[in-house]
């Protein structure tokens, strides 16, 4: 028995009908709508109904793995458009690949992200597109501090056994420090290390210096984990003035829920979220526009 007031009386009566009318109602689904107070109200919409801007509501959900609450919030903030950044200037764009190291991706490691290996193909595809368009590819590697007392607050919150294991595996000569072999690192790519979750700490960081020296103003963030090092790096990049885009299908996390929520919050508050396909198209288009007319 449904809770009083959860469904409208008309809908409840409709569910009891038989024949063609019942089939028509059954073909529709219930979807939550979020108002300004973020309070969900149940109502139904036919599948595939288009929004005022002509886009398909269902298509947006399939394109980005983000709850509709965040999609609607982002559109409300941007006057109806979903994405913050409509175009890319390849020569000023850098793909920043975070922590695609054996420690986080290789099977059997203590901090392996289950879906980490599943995003390698998209990372390689986007890296190739970035290089071809004239952009920069940077691979970030986490290095455990050599000083056992460094980052003392984090050490205190971690078991002694796990802390020592992390220090050994993420040392420069450790088994987990290297970039996962399936990642296509090319000779023109740049490498940068970090000692905290964000690649922008301490500031000025190795990454920030590298990017500013090359005139980069737009960052595409990929890697693992979406809700930890990728998000920390992306948020700091946004705070330091970079146009920052998290790549939805080139990031991975321990759970789908963490992945979805992180992308949704970033989309509405800090920057943009786009797919590998969207970004490769924008890079190619930007490269074409940069070619002088004959």
Q: What DSSP string runs through 249-281? A: EEEE-SSHHHHHHHHHHHHHHTSEEE-HHHHHH
Kindly state whether residues 155 and 283 are assigned to the same domain. yes
Is 85 a domain residue? no
Res 9: pLDDT: 52
Is 158 a domain residue? yes
Kindly state whether residues 141 and 204 are assigned to the same domain. yes
Kindly state whether residues 32 and 131 are assigned to the same domain. no
Is 106 a domain residue? yes
Kindly state whether residues 29 and 108 are assigned to the same domain. no
Return the bridge partners of 96, or none: 138, 221
CATH of the domain at 246: 3.40.50.850
| Whole-number Å distance between alpha carbons of 183 and 246 | 18
Kindly state whether residues 37 and 112 are assigned to the same domain. no
3-state SS, residue 232: helix
Return the bridge partners of 251, or none: 223
Kindly state whether residues 107 and 146 are assigned to the same domain. yes
Domain-ending residue, one of 23, 46, 64: 64
Is 3 a domain residue? no
Kindly state whether residues 32 and 97 are assigned to the same domain. no
β-pairing verdict for 190-194 and 243-252: unpaired
Kindly state whether residues 49 and 104 are assigned to the same domain. no
Rounded (10°) angle between helices 68-77 and 256-269: 10
Is 182 a domain residue? yes
Q: At residue 197, what are phi and psi to the nearest 5 degrees?
A: -65, -45
Task: Give the chain's domain count.
Answer: 2
Q: Give me the average pLDDT of each 10-residue run along the chain (294 residues).
A: 51 54 50 37 33 35 77 95 96 98 93 94 98 98 81 78 80 94 98 94 88 97 97 97 98 95 97 97 90 60
Please name the residue that has the structure tokens 């705070």.
239
Contacts of 211 (CB under 8 A, 6+ apart): 94, 136, 138, 219, 242
Kindly state whether residues 195 and 282 are assigned to the same domain. yes
Q: Is 80 left (phi over 0), alpha (psi -120 to 50) or beta?
A: left
Rounded (10°) angle between helices 231-239 and 256-269: 10
Is 205 a domain residue? yes
Res 293: pLDDT: 55
Helix (H) or strand (E) holding 224: strand 218-224
Is 70 a domain residue? no
Rounded (10°) angle between helices 120-133 and 276-290: 10
- What domain range is 111 assigned to? 90-290
Kindly state whether residues 42 and 184 are assigned to the same domain. no
Kindly state whether residues 247 and 284 are assigned to the same domain. yes
Res 33: pLDDT: 41
Is 18 a domain residue? yes
Kindly state whether residues 183 and 60 are assigned to the same domain. no
Res 8: pLDDT: 53
Return the structure tokens found at 185. 């690192």
Res 251: pLDDT: 97
Helix (H) or strand (E) holding 32: strand 29-34
3-state SS, residue 56: strand
Contacts of 196 (CB under 8 A, 6+ apart): 151, 202, 232
| Whole-number Å distance between alpha carbons of 33 and 44 | 9
């Amino acid at each position: 028995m449904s809770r009083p007031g959860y469904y409208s009386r008309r809908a409840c009566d409709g569910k009891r009908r038989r024949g063609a009318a019942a089939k028509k109602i059954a073909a529709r689904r219930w979807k939550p709508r979020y108002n300004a107070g973020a309070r969900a109200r149940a109502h139904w919409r036919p599948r595939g109904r288009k929004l005022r801007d002509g886009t398909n509501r269902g298509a947006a959900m399939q394109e980005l793995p983000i709850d509709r609450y965040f999609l609607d919030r982002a559109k409300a903030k941007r006057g109806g458009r979903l994405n913050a950044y409509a175009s890319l200037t390849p020569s000023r764009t850098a793909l920043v690949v975070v922590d695609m190291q054996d420690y986080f991706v290789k099977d059997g490691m203590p901090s392996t992200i289950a879906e980490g290996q599943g995003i390698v193909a998209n990372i390689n595809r986007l890296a190739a597109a970035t290089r071809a368009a004239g952009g920069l590819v940077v691979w970030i590697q986490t290095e455990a501090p050599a000083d056992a007392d460094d980052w003392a607050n984090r050490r205190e919150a971690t078991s002694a056994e796990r802390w020592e294991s992390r220090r050994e595996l993420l040392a420069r000569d450790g088994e987990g420090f290297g970039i996962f072999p399936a990642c296509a690192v090319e000779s023109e790519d740049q490498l940068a290390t970090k000692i905290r979750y964000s690649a922008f700490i301490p500031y000025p960081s190795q990454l920030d210096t590298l990017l500013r020296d090359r005139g980069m103003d737009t960052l595409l963030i990929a890697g693992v984990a979406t809700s930890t090092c990728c998000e920390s790096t992306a948020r700091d990049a946004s705070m330091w003035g970079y146009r920052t885009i998290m790549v939805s299908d080139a990031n991975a996390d321990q759970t789908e829920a963490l992945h979805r929520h992180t992308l949704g919050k970033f989309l509405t508050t800090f920057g943009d979220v786009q797919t590998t396909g969207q970004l490769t198209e924008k890079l190619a288009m930007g490269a074409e526009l940069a070619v002088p007319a004959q």
